A and B are shown apart, each in its own frame.
Chain A
């Protein structure tokens, strides 16, 4: 068990409304978040959902119209950006073009009035951390995008901020470099022990990197949880849909037994499903099942569901099979190709489906 962790950032009922009258835009509304010390915390959501706005409020470039933000228990509202012990890695890096790599990294310490030798030592330390020692005297225009990314990270980390904000820092990099930098960022976070608030619209990136994720849409936080919780226990349709592929099935609640609910599918099959803590399931509900949590089999009267294969997509590592159910809906299955050769089913085949124990989750909406 980890010891009870201190909260680095508390966001309490924060809202941000732009403009007034008819042209009013609600960028954020009623946000509550507790971000723990040393956490790799991710804000995940589609473009325009308010991620950048929230970071700007924390950094101090913008001010909430409602609520408050606490940094280690203290309200940061009165602090201008240059007095907040919070640094940002900007989306397009915003490196100073008239300075060298080393000057960029040392800028924050310089502004804090640290002694020269201390700055020099810290710059060296940061150059080593991001493997950029050889580039220290280059102008930032003379290095590649991936290297600029590293410099931006080193520059923001050099003053040892209490919280580091990263606004889609990897989105400008190509796929391979992005994967490399994901690993790098995780390593740097672990080595420095600084709390990271990381913004991305890429669900795969969020799942791969985060300790916890807050899924956002339209200026609201929809769900907060560890990657597995977000993925396997989505609380609502938006989250289930936004993260990975998923199957939605209609069901009726039969009985509740602690954390499990017994539900009945359209064909009478009974199934156990989990449900969000703040929900009291009753009546008609929607359940979600991930494509890899159902298995394909030959038709059988004891199977949970029977249907007919609509189509198959072979993807090398696995195969996607879409099955047409008797209620005319489509159910997608992802089956790992763990045997060499054809998978032994083809379109039009009658098949049966079995859903893994504990895989079904009831949605709030």
Chain B
């Protein structure tokens, strides 16, 4: 049998692929290595040490920003996932009707609108509200993060729902389960991996956000990314590398969990 066209065996493909990986991973690798530099430079290696991790750990500003980031991400992710779950059920557990496609687009719009536009819009809106109410707490950041996290949480949940056989819910209703019990004993347990995936995706997206946060935050509401951005404008020390490395490990951990969850998804389908 003749082999069909396969991009992997075309000349140059391997080279290009290697080059792209190189471009992507070498800077990250360098960043991680220099996090362990004992000197003050991020370009000249002077020896191995944990001093910059210790420095970051002892830097109140870093710890505060980190705690704030995790707080915002956790609350925003939970609210966004709850809303996304309801939205996903409402948009999949219904017969198709005119306007349904519009709803999909509406939910996913934040993915299309340039982030900077959303940021400016929220800045204007929130500054008015701040004047009216006098409130200037973390609520604005949490609200903004919740808003742009919803579509990210929505996607895996909706995918999971669409793969779920409607007959299962019908079978449960047939076996005397009230609509609430159908949701509690059938839909929710089967949806759970999708919900967790959505939650983690939303968490990572929120943790990582800089544009909207930069515009919406009030004074003294630095998150880890905005703090780092501020520092980079001054002198750069391996402390930034150390913070980034911890950040990277955290993300890797979450992605790994995400991977195992989506694998268990496939197995049970």
Residue numbers of A with Cβ under 8 A of B are 59, 61, 80-83, 86-88, 90, 92, 94-98, 107-108, 111-112, 141, 155-156, 159
Contact = CB atoms under 8 A, between A and B. Distances in A.
A92 B167 contact: yes
Contact of A94 (B167, B178, B190): B167
A169 to B, nearest CB: 13
A95 B185 CA distance: 13
Contact of A87 (B165, B167, B174, B178): B174
Interface string B150-194: 000000000000000101101111111111010001100110000
Given A111-B181, A141-B268, A94 B171 contact: yes
A59 B167 CA distance: 13
A96 B168 contact: yes
B173 A92 contact: no
A88 B168 CA distance: 12
Contacts of A156: 174-175
Interface in B23-44: none
Contacts of A95: 171
Interface in B217-269: 268-269
Contacts of B176: 82-83, 108, 111-112, 159
B175 A155 contact: yes
A108 B189 CA distance: 17
Contacts of A92: 165, 167
Given A92-B167, A94-B168, A82 B190 contact: no
A281 B200 CA distance: 76
Interface of B: 165, 167-168, 170-179, 181, 185-186, 189-190, 268-269
Given A81-B173, A82-B175, 14 more contacts: A59-B174, A61-B174, A81-B170, A81-B174, A82-B174, A88-B171, A96-B186, A97-B168, A98-B190, A107-B172, A108-B175, A112-B176, A141-B268, A156-B175
A283 B168 CA distance: 55
Contacts of B185: 107
22 contacts: A59-B174, A81-B174, A82-B174, A83-B176, A87-B174, A87-B175, A88-B171, A88-B174, A90-B167, A90-B170, A90-B171, A94-B165, A94-B167, A94-B171, A95-B171, A97-B168, A97-B268, A107-B172, A108-B175, A108-B176, A111-B177, A141-B268
Nearest to A155: B175
B172 A96 contact: yes
B195 to A, nearest CB: 14
A5 B269 CA distance: 45
Contacts of A61: 170, 173-174
B173 A82 contact: yes
Contacts of B167: 90, 92, 94
A185 to B, nearest CB: 18
A94 B170 contact: yes
8 tightest Cβ-Cβ pairs between the two chains A and B: A108-B175, A94-B167, A94-B171, A111-B176, A81-B173, A111-B177, A88-B174, A82-B173
Contacts of B179: 82
Contacts of B189: 98
